[in-house]
Amino acid sequence: MTLAALTPDLVAHRPDTRTEWWRHAVIYQVYPRSFADASGDGIGDLPGVTARLDHLVELGVDAVWLSPFYRSPQADAGYDVADYRDVDPLFGTLADADALVARAHELGLRVIVDLVPNHTSDEHAWFQAALAAGPGSPERARYHFRDGKGEHGELPPNNWESIFGGPAWTRTTDPDGTPGQWYLHLFDSKQPDLDWDNPEVHAEFADVLRFWLDRGVDGFRVDVAHGMVKAPGLPDWDGHVAMIDGSDGSHAVDDVDGSGNHGPMFDQEGVHEIYRAWRRILDTYDGDRAMVTEAWVEPLSRLARYVRPDEAHQSFNFAFLAAGWHAPSLRRVITASYEANDAVGAPTTWVLSNHDVVRHASRMGLDDPTHRPNGIGHGDEQPDAGLGLQRARAASLLMLGLPGSAYVYQGEELGLPDHTALDDDLREDPAFFRTGGAERGRDGCRVPLPWEGDAPGLGFSPTGATWLPQPAEWADLAVDRQRGREGSTYELYRAALRLRRDENLGAGGLQWLDSPAREHVLAFRNGGVVVLANLDDVDVALPLDAEVLLASGPLADGVLPAATTAWLRLP
Ligand code: BGC
């Protein structure tokens, strides 16, 4: 097969002359407990992040998103916040957070922090007050407390399931020891959902936003952004709750044209009023503060409603992540993403990995690379590591060639796979426990980073301690082993990010190029660069006059091998 005849096809997106940083930024996700540990306790912390910010500058990203570091009992690794205005002692102090933001800004990096508004921790002062105050109190009205059904209130108020497994309701015990009301939690029982019909909740979060904006953060990543408002009356629903179909291991449905129906707990009209209010707050600050929503919503046209001009600035594009490794599906998702976002004037974002999904170097090594299990463990199908890495590098180079804004999850620049053979007794993800182990959960993508191949704990911590063990083969993936090594994944990302900046690819346009190999190869032009991604297992011949700028794997004899992406200059 040959790419000799590349012919111009559909223009899916036109260049963007607007200059706000978030329109074209590459944003690096730091998962603080696993990035770098300064204190030596084996859990990453904010001083550890600050000390390693140079790595991100060397890599060439524009911004950092920090997963939660707030005061928390860590029932869901910090997504259970007990105090939104303080740093958990595990991660440091408020002064450490200030120092991190200051150092990042000195280095020219923006900082986005996580905002978790759907639920608090059950150890939050509000929830403790609600338990103490009893039924009918204003304290309980900040959450969804209900009497149970059945003769003695022994049945949950409705049939909703928790996304982590089991019922979405837990019954409380009154001070005299008798069973009391139930409360709603879409996630773990230690994460009670707030009632966003209550104006006090709105006021509290507006204040939390200002607290962090005043400290100088450049914006927020909004957790479960489609879940805060529930349908009136909390009606029963017989569907299956997952963040998106497929995250529980089944196949993704059609994210492009899908039904958008995720039940009465998701994507309700009222959430948009919240983003409008927050946008007004952000707009009162200088410096283009931005907000990205984690909204697992389909179809893409429905997701784009979160990024209308007076709402959030960006939304994660999980349809791209879910499209797997299949040329026609990716072409369709990419085209539809631009169509939906361009219609509302928002940038399209791209993401392949994060702290909630099996890393793409492992997913793409599975027999079926569109399969997205919630974790991989002993006894499960083990990915083909070599093929997974080769495809992951190709997928990353494809992603970084796309106009818009891209998210890089810590460690993907090293080609890290998941830890796919973690002992179950080391797991911490509540999803593992709440499903009785049926889902392995997300610990495998949260293993501490390898910095130095020869150091104890691979340089993650000064004592060598790591809260989860690192696979032995990660020594060779450590930053110091890859730095300066020709062809390493780290150097591939650096080169791609440098070229992306030099060629202004983030602000560019996308025109598809057609060829006889269109079922196997994605081909498009972004400004002066032609991106070719061969997703199949056959080699294809490159155009004769191509100058190769960068490739995700070795190219020989004018051939683009299977599972390889190349960036070319064509005359
Ligand atoms: C976060 C998860 C978290 C959940 C509940 C998500 O979407 O990314 O890590 O478990 O929200 O807060």
User: Which numbered atom of ligand 1 lies nearest the CA of 442?
Assistant: 9
Please check whether residues 141 and 226 belong to one and the same domain: no
Whether 524 lines ligand 1, by a CB cut-off of 6 Å, is: no
Please check whether residues 178 and 211 belong to one and the same domain: no
Residues 28, 301: Cα–Cα separation, whole Å = 26
Lookup: tokens for 2: 């040959």
Please check whether residues 392 and 377 belong to one and the same domain: yes
Q: How confident is the model at residue 175 (pLDDT cuts 50, 70, 90)?
A: confident
Please check whether residues 175 and 246 belong to one and the same domain: no
Residue from 70, 427, 18 nearest 223 by CA: 70
Average pLDDT rounded to a whole number, residues 512-539: 94
User: Which numbered atom of ligand 1 lies nearest the CA of 164?
Assistant: 10
Map tokens 């899916």 to a residue: 12
Residue from 414, 415, 565, 412 nearest 499 by CA: 565
User: Which numbered atom of ligand 1 lies nearest the CA of 354?
Assistant: 8
Q: How many C-beta atoms surround the C-beta of residue 451 within 10 A?
A: 20
Whether 187 lines ligand 1, by a CB cut-off of 6 Å, is: yes
Residue 116 pLDDT greater than 60, yes or no: yes
Residue 192 domain-assigned (yes or no): no
Q: Taking a C-beta distance cutoff of 8 angstroms, is the pair 249, 371 a contact?
A: yes
Please tell me whether the peptide bond between 299 and the residue prior to it is cis, using omega within 30 degrees of 0.
yes
Residue nearest to atom 2 of ligand 1 (CA): 356
Residue 170 pLDDT greater than 50, yes or no: yes
Residue nearest to atom 5 of ligand 1 (CA): 79
Please tell me whether the peptide bond between 199 and the residue prior to it is cis, using omega within 30 degrees of 0.
no
Residue 540 domain-assigned (yes or no): no
Q: Taking a C-beta distance cutoff of 8 angstroms, is the pair 63, 109 a contact?
A: yes
The rounded Å distance from CA 495 to ligand 1 centre is 32
The rounded Å distance from CA 77 to ligand 1 centre is 9
How far is the CA of 149 from the CAs of 135, 154, 178, 194, in angstroms? 15, 6, 16, 21
Q: Mean pLDDT for the chain?
A: 95
Residues 560, 571: Cα–Cα separation, whole Å = 18
Give me the count of residues in the chain: 571
Please check whether residues 209 and 235 belong to one and the same domain: yes
CA atoms within 13 A on the CB side of 26: 28
Phi, psi of 451 (to 5 degrees): -100, -40
DSSP code for 140: G
Which residues are CB-neighbours of 372 under 8 A, at least 6 positions away? 246, 247, 249, 252, 322, 357, 358, 363
Residues 159, 259: Cα–Cα separation, whole Å = 22
The rounded Å distance from CA 224 to ligand 1 centre is 7
User: Which numbered atom of ligand 1 lies nearest the CA of 243?
Assistant: 7
Residue 292 domain-assigned (yes or no): yes
Look up 294 and say whether it is catalytic.
yes
Please check whether residues 416 and 325 belong to one and the same domain: yes
The rounded Å distance from CA 508 to ligand 1 centre is 32
Phi, psi of 322 (to 5 degrees): -80, -10
Residue 243 pLDDT greater than 70, yes or no: no
Residue 112 domain-assigned (yes or no): yes
Please check whether residues 296 and 171 belong to one and the same domain: no
Q: How confident is the model at residue 260 (pLDDT cuts 50, 70, 90)?
A: low
Residue nearest to atom 1 of ligand 1 (CA): 223
CATH number of the domain within which 452 lies: 3.20.20.80
As a whole-number percent, the residues of the chain with pLDDT over 70 amount to 96
Residue 373 pLDDT greater than 80, yes or no: yes
Lowest mean pLDDT among 57-66, 123-132, 257-266, 404-413: 257-266
Strand partners, 185: none
As a whole-number percent, the residues of the chain with pLDDT over 90 amount to 90
Average pLDDT rounded to a whole number, residues 74-102: 98
Lookup: tokens for 484: 């300066």
* Domain end marker among 492, 514, 547: 492
pLDDT at 259: 61
pLDDT at 253: 42
Residue 547 domain-assigned (yes or no): no
Q: How confident is the model at residue 4 (pLDDT cuts 50, 70, 90)?
A: confident
Domain that holds residue 243: 18-120+198-492
How far is the CA of 333 from the CAs of 128, 186, 339, 450, in angstroms? 45, 29, 10, 33
Residue among 222, 223, 351, 374 to mutate when testing ligand 1 (max atoms within 8 A of CB): 223
Whether 79 lines ligand 1, by a CB cut-off of 6 Å, is: yes
**Amino acid code (one letter) for 570:** L
* Domain end marker among 460, 492, 524: 492
Residue among 122, 244, 292, 356 to mutate when testing ligand 1 (max atoms within 8 A of CB): 356
Query: Would you put residue 219 in left (φ > 0), alpha (ψ -120 to 50) or beta?
Result: left
- Residue, of 381 and 248, whose pLDDT is higher: 381
Round to the nearest angstrom and report the end-to-end CA distance of the chain.
Answer: 21
Q: Can you tell me whether residue 540 is helix, strand or coil?
A: strand
Map tokens 């498009």 to a residue: 524
pLDDT tens, 12-58? 999 999 999 999 999 999 999 999 999 999 999 999 999 999 999 99
Whether 237 lines ligand 1, by a CB cut-off of 6 Å, is: no
Residue 101 domain-assigned (yes or no): yes
The rounded Å distance from CA 79 to ligand 1 centre is 6
Residue 247 pLDDT greater than 50, yes or no: no
The H or E element containing residue 300 is: helix 300-303
Residue nearest to atom 12 of ligand 1 (CA): 79
Residue 170 domain-assigned (yes or no): yes
Whether 223 lines ligand 1, by a CB cut-off of 6 Å, is: yes
Residue 297 pLDDT greater than 60, yes or no: yes
Q: How many C-beta atoms surround the C-beta of residue 519 within 10 A?
A: 13
Residue 462 pLDDT greater than 90, yes or no: yes
Please check whether residues 143 and 41 belong to one and the same domain: no
Please check whether residues 406 and 454 belong to one and the same domain: yes
What pTM value is reported for the model?
0.97
Residue 54 domain-assigned (yes or no): yes
Residue 147 pLDDT greater than 70, yes or no: yes
The rounded Å distance from CA 511 to ligand 1 centre is 35
Please check whether residues 106 and 130 belong to one and the same domain: no
Residue 245 pLDDT greater than 80, yes or no: no
- Active-site residue identified among 37, 245, 294, 503: 294
Q: How confident is the model at residue 180 (pLDDT cuts 50, 70, 90)?
A: very high
Residues 22, 20: Cα–Cα separation, whole Å = 6
Residue 101 pLDDT greater than 50, yes or no: yes
Whether 80 lines ligand 1, by a CB cut-off of 6 Å, is: no
Quick one: 170 exposed, middle or buried, by C-beta within 10 A (0-12, 13-18, 19+)?
A: middle
pLDDT at 252: 42
CATH number of the domain within which 141 lies: 3.90.400.10
pLDDT tens, 212-236? 999 999 999 999 999 999 999 999 9
The rounded Å distance from CA 356 to ligand 1 centre is 7
Q: How many domains does the chain have?
A: 2
Please check whether residues 180 and 312 belong to one and the same domain: no
Please check whether residues 322 and 375 belong to one and the same domain: yes
Residue 390 pLDDT greater than 90, yes or no: yes
* Domain end marker among 473, 492, 511: 492
pLDDT at 246: 45
Whether 409 lines ligand 1, by a CB cut-off of 6 Å, is: no
- Active-site residue identified among 96, 195, 218, 223: 223
Residue 68 pLDDT greater than 60, yes or no: yes
Whether 76 lines ligand 1, by a CB cut-off of 6 Å, is: yes
Average pLDDT rounded to a whole number, residues 287-298: 95
Which residues are CB-neighbours of 59 under 8 A, at least 6 positions away? 28, 413, 490, 493, 494, 497
Whether 127 lines ligand 1, by a CB cut-off of 6 Å, is: no
Average pLDDT rounded to a whole number, residues 344-360: 98
Look up 223 and say whether it is catalytic.
yes
CA atoms within 13 A on the CB side of 70: 22
